[in-house]
Amino acid sequence: MGFRLAKTLRVWLGLLMVFVPLLLPQSTAARIILAEDRAFDQLWQSTDGQRRNEQSWLWGPQRLWQTQERYAESPRELRWVRYYAKARMEISDPKLSAKSPWYITNGLLVVELVTGRLQIGNEAWRKQCADGICGSEQAVAGDAVTANRAPRYRDWAEFLTLNGSTGADLRGQPVTNWLTHEAEGGQVWSDSRLAERYPETSGSHRDEITGQTVPAMMWNYVQTQARDALYVFGRPISPAFWTQALVDGVEREVLVQLFERRTLTYTPSNPLGWQVEMGNVGQHGLEWRYGLRPWDYQPLHVTMLTYHYISANPNPADRLRESLSVAPAEFKRQLEYLQTHNFHVVSLDQVLAAQRGEQSLPEHPVVITLDDGYRDLYEQAFPIAQSLNLPITAYIPSALVGEPAYVSWQQLQELSQSPLVTIGSHTRVHADLGMLDRESQWIEIAHSKRELEAHLGIAIEHFCYPYGRYNALTMELVREAGYRSATTTRQTTDTANDDPLIWNRITISGQDSFEDFVAKLEGSQD
């Protein structure tokens, strides 16, 4: 079999598996919400969505970040997670009934932050260290400033009772030990006067596994939660310590105890009802793992549209090609609709800049993407977009450039010089990355970037997963290769996904009527 024919067959077989669903009748008016998004939303709504003003947050007032993280037992070794200020929601086993109380679990974030180990499977962990330091340097309580003397997460490592060790039985004894953060690490000392000042800290409950004793007012708080204590908090894994924490610029006495999933703080100077609170473990975990702080980026809702061929189907009997082909006149009509109905077409770079808070996006932003680099990208799609002064993104499989059905390097060079065109990588040969080993994936992901950059003389910072398929290794390699965004083919009208390496898109099919196109577009704005 010739090289060109083999490549063409690989592409078409992969496309067939992805786009067969597009050949089936669909209700275009329906808003499509993916299962994981619906489950996360429903859990939040059933808990924090019902909270009263005098109640503290179980998760947080709003989602901070949603992504997929490596987990050995999950499909493709990826599980969906959503970070809130107080915790991380996880769907590790989507085969469980969504009605199960353990369908969404509550991550072992505190264990990760203290030990510097990421949980990547039921029994699998991976070190995450920076400059030889494992464990988070963030303060467990109070302001995120250097002047805050509250202990850092890693200062607690020597006090954890994990893997069979147990803590002392402190039932009936008030907490009298201090833990502060010093240059050489955590420092502990005892102050017997605390027993008289704060008798309410007397130990009440001792965990049967870890042996740690929970002070009475903290245990009362644990018992008032609507969900099972083990589900919300996990087991206590440290003694409770008094700390001097800087809170809103004021140094206060704060009692802190670590659980597997949460931290609890007791601040006697707080108003009644707010003395015991959960720490911002989810926010801390997000910053430690990804370097993301909520105030550094903005939540966005951007509609991303996917096109393939912008040309008439030469063989109407070819239903797959028909589903991938949008006639040039119809493409122009769709773009004109965007312009005349208060939608604003933006580039991927604008979206990333807006997410970082560097600029604002116009109302109802839309991104136009064209996959595969067919010749009609240059002959039809670009001239239409140029005539309307609208930006487009073209994802190019670098090894297919110059093949009979694809753009040439000369045409691609011309496209890349237009301020309206963003060029992204679509691997080298439109490979199904989830089927490849590490070395082969790296060649497709990183070498395609290098080839495009070498030919075009521009930075290639955006990627598209062929067939929308990827696994945990794929995501890690895309990040390692230096891409700033990557798009999928997850069919949903809700494209407000946070992680730019798994942005959702809505496919515009050649079988869509104009009314179907409008319905998809309007549905994405709900």
User: pLDDT of 434-454, one tens digit each?
Assistant: 999 999 999 999 999 999 999
Q: Are 227 and 58 in contact (CB under 8 A)?
A: yes
Neighbours of 514 (CB within 10 A): 11
Q: Are 382 and 388 in contact (CB under 8 A)?
A: no
Q: What is the CA radius of gyration of the chain?
A: 27
> Higher pLDDT residue, 320 or 412?
412
pLDDT above 80: residue 14: no
pLDDT value at position 429? Answer: 97
Report the largest interatomic distance among the alpha carbons of the chain, rounded to a whole angstrom. Answer: 87
pLDDT above 70: residue 22: no
pLDDT value at position 267? Answer: 96
Q: Is the dihedral of CA 322, 323, 324, 329 positive or negative?
A: positive
pLDDT value at position 26? Answer: 41
pLDDT value at position 124? Answer: 96
User: pLDDT of 478-506, one tens digit each?
Assistant: 999 999 999 998 876 555 558 999 999 99
pLDDT value at position 455? Answer: 98
**Confidence class for position 9, pLDDT limits 50, 70, 90:** very low
Residue 183, judged by CB atoms within 10 A of its CB (0-12, 13-18, 19+), counts as: exposed
Q: For 153-167, 374-388, 411-425, which range has the lowest pLDDT when averaged over its residues?
A: 153-167
What phi-psi label fits residue 343: left (phi over 0), alpha (psi between -120 and 50 degrees) or beta? beta
User: pLDDT of 233-267, one tens digit each?
Assistant: 999 999 999 999 999 999 999 999 999 999 999 99
pLDDT above 70: residue 3: no
Angle subtended by helix axes 514-523 and 328-340, to nearest 10: 40
pLDDT value at position 108? Answer: 95
Q: Which residues pair with 129 in a beta bridge?
A: 134
Q: Which amino acid is at 405?
A: A
Q: 3-state DSSP call for residue 8? A: helix
pLDDT above 80: residue 292: yes
User: pLDDT of 347-385, one tens digit each?
Assistant: 999 999 998 889 999 999 999 999 999 999 999 999 999
Pairwise CA distance, residues 367 & 392, whole Å: 7
Neighbours of 117 (CB within 10 A): 18
Supply the pTM of this predicted model. Answer: 0.89
**Confidence class for position 50, pLDDT limits 50, 70, 90:** confident
Pairwise CA distance, residues 253 & 194, whole Å: 11
User: pLDDT of 71-116, one tens digit each?
Assistant: 999 999 999 999 999 999 999 999 999 889 899 999 899 999 999 9
